[in-house]
Chain A
Amino acid sequence: DGGITQSPKYLFRKEGQNVTLSCEQNLNHDAMYWYRQDPGQGLRLIYYSQIVNDFQKGDIAEGYSVSREKKESFPLTVTSAQKNPTAFYLCASSIAYVGEQFFGPGTRLTVL
């Protein structure tokens, strides 16, 4: 079964700690994305990667970092510099940079 997996589903961290969210896809897609969703708001782009070993900042990249060492994997690190890290994080991928994006199930991060 092809798809996008995100783990864990729920994540709790103490304030000041860095945390890494996992995103893996077996769709053979070149492009991958990270979004954040807050209550009553649309999805906002954090980082995206058009191809392995390359990534670009999205609209709200401050306090986040990513890597793209493998085509299948695009982990997101939420650092202590992110002022309001509690949110629902969504990973997506697409065949090419322009096209339909397919989303994973999301990770809800709560910082206590």
Chain B
Amino acid sequence: DQQVKQNSPSLSVQEGRISILNCDYTNSMFDYFLWYKKYPAEGPTFLISISSIKDKNEDGRFTVFLNKSAKHLSLHIVPSQPGDSAVYFCAASARAGGTSYGKLTFGQGTILTVHP
């Protein structure tokens, strides 16, 4: 039962262009969403988060959009840089309660490659 899905295993983008990474979820109890970036053989690094009371959160080149009715979130990176090449994981949590309370449920990850 994959409650958080990243349907694109990989994405290739030219330097300077926009990267859009997508994530879908099925559990309606999820109300807090995070994006992590991971390099090979390293631990994930927290990038940005969004609460379900918002539909957008920005931090520098990174913007996360949340569409609650579609149970969909996306991470936009503008402009993309070669150093952004990594695996990106979305994660979801239920802060209000339920069986997913507090736990992070991760998607499978999307490998982003930014070409110079």
Contacts and interface: CB of A to CB of B under 8 A. Distances in A.
Interface of A: 4, 6, 31, 33, 40-45, 48, 50, 58, 88, 90, 92, 97-98, 100-106, 108
A42 B89 contact: yes
A41 B108 contact: yes
B72 to A, nearest CB: 17
B41 interface: yes
A42 B91 CA distance: 9
24 contacts: A6-B43, A33-B104, A40-B9, A40-B108, A40-B109, A41-B108, A42-B6, A42-B89, A43-B106, A48-B103, A58-B103, A90-B44, A97-B102, A98-B93, A98-B101, A100-B34, A100-B46, A101-B46, A101-B104, A103-B36, A103-B43, A103-B45, A105-B42, A108-B41
A98 B93 CA distance: 8
B49 interface: yes
B32 interface: yes
In terms of DSSP, what is the predominant structure of the interface of chain A? strand
Interface of B: 4, 6, 9, 32, 34, 36, 41-46, 49, 89, 91, 93, 95, 101-104, 106-109
A83 B103 CA distance: 24
Nearest to B47: A100
A106 B44 CA distance: 9
A22 to B, nearest CB: 14
A42 B45 contact: no
